[in-house]
């Protein structure tokens, strides 16, 4: 087995285990055992469990489609995107894995950077008026709050609610940040 093949095998198995069980429940030994290799090879390729996690879990933040089009309705589009079950593997599951590992400063930094790159920065570029960057970061915080209610707390009132109703109500709340307040 080549070095590249071994590293890829480790990464695939680590991602599967981190996504299924979370950071704390995943071990280097478990990843190595499932990959059929010695645990020392995991450390050789990744350096540590934390680095293995950082290199294999990525919050892609597929927000671009919701950020296109007019600002009017963007709040509802963002919320509908978060609620879209088809995006679970690229948004909800990695977000859950990252949040559960936020006792690590490096993981927190990666999660903040992902929200900055995929949501706050592109949104701020679209906003007019004062405090555009702050307002964009507050929208990202609202999106993060909805994700937390769905995938961390599994709030039955939110999880069991009509997605259209959530998009309408929560989207309206998000939309208040998209236009600057009038004086």
Do 105 and 167 lie in one domain? The reply is yes
pLDDT band at 119 (very low <50, low <70, confident <90, very high): very high
Do 43 and 80 lie in one domain? The reply is no
Domain span holding position 30 = 3-56
Alpha-carbon distance of 31 to 16, in angstroms, equals 9
Do 110 and 28 lie in one domain? The reply is no
Do 84 and 160 lie in one domain? The reply is yes
- Domains: count for the chain: 2
């609620």: which residue's tokens?
A: 83
Percent of the chain residues past pLDDT 70, beyond the cut = 96
Across 54-58, 103-107, 147-151, 154-158, which has the greatest mean pLDDT?
A: 154-158
Q: Which of 30, 36, 72 is nearest to 52 (CA)?
A: 30
Tell me whether residue 49 is in a domain: yes
Alpha-carbon distance of 91 to 2, in angstroms, equals 32
CATH number reported for the structural domain that contains residue 100 in this entry: 1.10.357.10
Choice between 150 and 99, residue whose per-residue pLDDT is larger: 150
- At residue 60, the pLDDT reads 66
Mean local confidence (pLDDT), 3-24: 84
Do 45 and 101 lie in one domain? The reply is no
- At residue 1, the pLDDT reads 63
pLDDT band at 61 (very low <50, low <70, confident <90, very high): low
Tell me whether residue 180 is in a domain: no
- At residue 183, the pLDDT reads 62
């Amino acid at each position: 087995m080549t070095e590249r093949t071994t590293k890829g095998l480790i990464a695939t198995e680590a991602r599967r285990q981190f996504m299924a069980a979370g950071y704390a429940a995943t071990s280097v030994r478990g990843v190595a055992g499932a990959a059929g290799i010695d645990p020392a090879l995991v450390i050789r390729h990744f350096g540590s469990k934390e680095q293995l996690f950082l290199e294999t879990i990525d919050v892609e933040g597929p927000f671009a489609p919701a950020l296109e089009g007019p600002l009017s309705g963007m709040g509802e589009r963002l919320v509908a995107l978060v609620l879209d079950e088809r995006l679970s593997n690229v948004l909800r599951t990695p977000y859950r894995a990252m949040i559960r590992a936020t006792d690590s400063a490096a993981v927190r930094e990666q999660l903040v950077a992902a929200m900055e790159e995929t949501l706050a920065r592109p949104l701020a570029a679209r906003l007019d008026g004062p405090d555009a960057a702050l307002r964009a970061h507050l929208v990202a915080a609202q999106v993060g709050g909805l994700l937390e209610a769905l995938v961390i707390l599994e709030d039955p009132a939110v999880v069991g609610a009509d997605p259209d109703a959530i998009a309408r109500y929560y989207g309206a709340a998000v939309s208040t940040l998209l236009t600057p307040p009038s004086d």
